[in-house]
Structure 1
């Protein structure tokens, strides 16, 4: 490894452009040497905004790409993410590669090089744990990145972070972290852990838990975005819905009942992922929440000078809505709705 390790990020994206541009700008501002973006929808126009950036490597996942890397295009999004991350590892010029989603950002101020220097030689990867964004009930959302961050995950149904039966463990998304792997050793990179052999092997390679860097996960940039994850699954892999944990199935049923009522969807989102001010203050005092601002505006202006990126929820949802409507039509054809 060189004196100054080269690190980068890989993500498979199918998101509105403001999120993808913020993801790229933020991580370049933290010192990423390369960012590998795989466009799940090969004709995604965000690719044109990224092609000219030398540190950003855009791969359009079209038929030619899938024929080159896999027997066929996997139906499940998670499987496509894994194949893409493993492919990026094989073509990158990095010492370490972090695989995460476009709604996950390294916490501002993260010193990735210091973290890498701490990883012992025996560890082939490090797990980067995640916080999760939460909202303040009754406070208008002006940016898709507004909110506070839940920092402790208890893994029990008596966690103080619990808001309802729809989020029994306190987090609405995952609490498993994401892998940052040593490159050049040929691991298959799964969503949360890599393997030396087949991605379904039970043996997980030895890892070192990161203690200097964290991810912040925006599990639903807006209520529509949060609902959209379920709607997409209903459209793309409806058979998987029945295999979700019971609380996820309950979330989906509630969402399905709110699809034609924006106010009801906002209320459901707040029930699952928001606290009133007094509760938030108590959680902060107890160390379960941090209230710090995440604002990628400066990074966006630096990386994309002269390009105005609208981070308002209204604009974000206007870009998301055509995809949501398409998924809804497909889900209804499947009889899921």
Structure 2
């Protein structure tokens, strides 16, 4: 019997050392064979801990790093992410490589390597769909609602004030992330997609037994602290496609949130957050009634202590 394939993760990260180490520790505990971490800004505590682990390759993306890569540091962090992911893909020795973010955690029903061993050889990559954190710190996540004729109606029933403007009922992406088979020619990785020779491979095969637990908005303070960055340069930045077609009154998240803030200030933003995060009791009751609340106990602190004892 052939051995299960190996798999790795690549991520360009910024944030506190505990958050970075929790992300890495969680996936080490899951059985990843290698994690490639690019520190988007200097983080000595995280670097020192990661650099000592045999399954982690860590680099600091300073001026010397970009000079070695013979290019200027890209201005957008999304471009830095994809550049680092594509660079890693060309050198990775694992059979599969996942490109995910520091606030995303893979949650499989059974071992990922086992699931990857069942993917037909002609399939270049597989997609994992997100579930999105709810506020409250109870390890609860909103379920992904598959695309279909009834999704818009479901979302608007769950979220009566803002559901018509927010794709799939999520603050952030519903596309999910990709695990791509290594060794293919002319591959470049994006945030949610894979290109080969400049053409989108259009990864449609999914791993339905793996959730991508996206801790995008764990509480009001966390969401508000990240709001301005996301609005200017992150996942709510200008120029994104509208979440709903414009001929149906759709706006992208930048337009929606800017409108809410202009009309209602911080109170308006709080009302939006409470509805979309499930803080609102009516929303939470509807999610519960429809079976759309998932319990995903990530155990991040325990895994941090296990894999990086005494590191902080």
Normalising by structure 1, what TM-score? 0.76
Equivalent in the alignment of 1:157: 152
1:125-158: CA deviation from partner (whole Å, max 9, x where unpaired):
11111111122xxxxx4x5xx3421113255432
**Unaligned regions of 5+ residues in structure 1, if any?**
136-140, 309-337
Q: Is the 8 A contact 1:164 1:272 kept in 2?
A: no
SS at match of 2:10: strand
Equivalent in the alignment of 1:250: 256
Structure 2 residue 312 is matched with structure 1 residue 302: no
1:19-75: CA deviation from partner (whole Å, max 9, x where unpaired):
211111110001001111111114564222211111111111112322343632222
Equivalent in the alignment of 2:166: 168
TM superposition shift of 1:3? 0.9
SS at match of 1:37: strand
TM superposition shift of 1:304? 1.6
Structure 2 residue 53 is matched with structure 1 residue 53: yes
Q: How does 1:182-331 map to 2 (within 5 A)?
A: 182-186=181-185, 187-198=187-198, 201=199, 203-204=200-201, 207-233=204-230, 240-241=237-238, 243=240, 245=242, 246-248=251-253, 249-254=255-260, 267-277=271-281, 279-307=283-311
Equivalent in the alignment of 1:27: 27
d(CA) in 2 for partners of 1:91, 1:31: 20
Call closer, same or farther: CA 1:19–1:221 in 2, change over 3 Å: farther
d(CA) in 2 for partners of 1:258, 1:108: 40
Aligned residues: 294
TM superposition shift of 1:209? 1.4
1:145-182: CA deviation from partner (whole Å, max 9, x where unpaired):
x3421113255432244363275331111100101011
- 27-36 vs 15-24, greater mean Cα deviation: 15-24
d(CA) in 2 for partners of 1:296, 1:185: 34
1:243-266: CA deviation from partner (whole Å, max 9, x where unpaired):
56424122245458999x6x8765
- RMSD of aligned Cα (Å): 3.1
d(CA) in 1 for partners of 2:11, 2:180: 14
TM superposition shift of 1:14? 1.1
Call closer, same or farther: CA 1:40–1:110 in 2, change over 3 Å: farther
Structure 2 residue 94 is matched with structure 1 residue 94: yes
Equivalent in the alignment of 1:148: 140
Q: Is the 8 A contact 1:115 1:213 kept in 2?
A: no
d(CA) in 1 for partners of 2:89, 2:237: 29
Call closer, same or farther: CA 1:37–1:257 in 2, change over 3 Å: farther
d(CA) in 1 for partners of 2:264, 2:73: 32
Q: Is the 8 A contact 2:129 2:174 kept in 1?
A: yes
- 58-67 vs 119-128, greater mean Cα deviation: 58-67
Call closer, same or farther: CA 1:214–1:235 in 2, change over 3 Å: closer
Call closer, same or farther: CA 1:65–1:110 in 2, change over 3 Å: farther
Structure 2 residue 106 is matched with structure 1 residue 106: yes
Q: Is the 8 A contact 1:161 1:288 kept in 2?
A: no
Equivalent in the alignment of 2:246: none
SS at match of 1:128: strand
Normalising by structure 2, what TM-score? 0.81
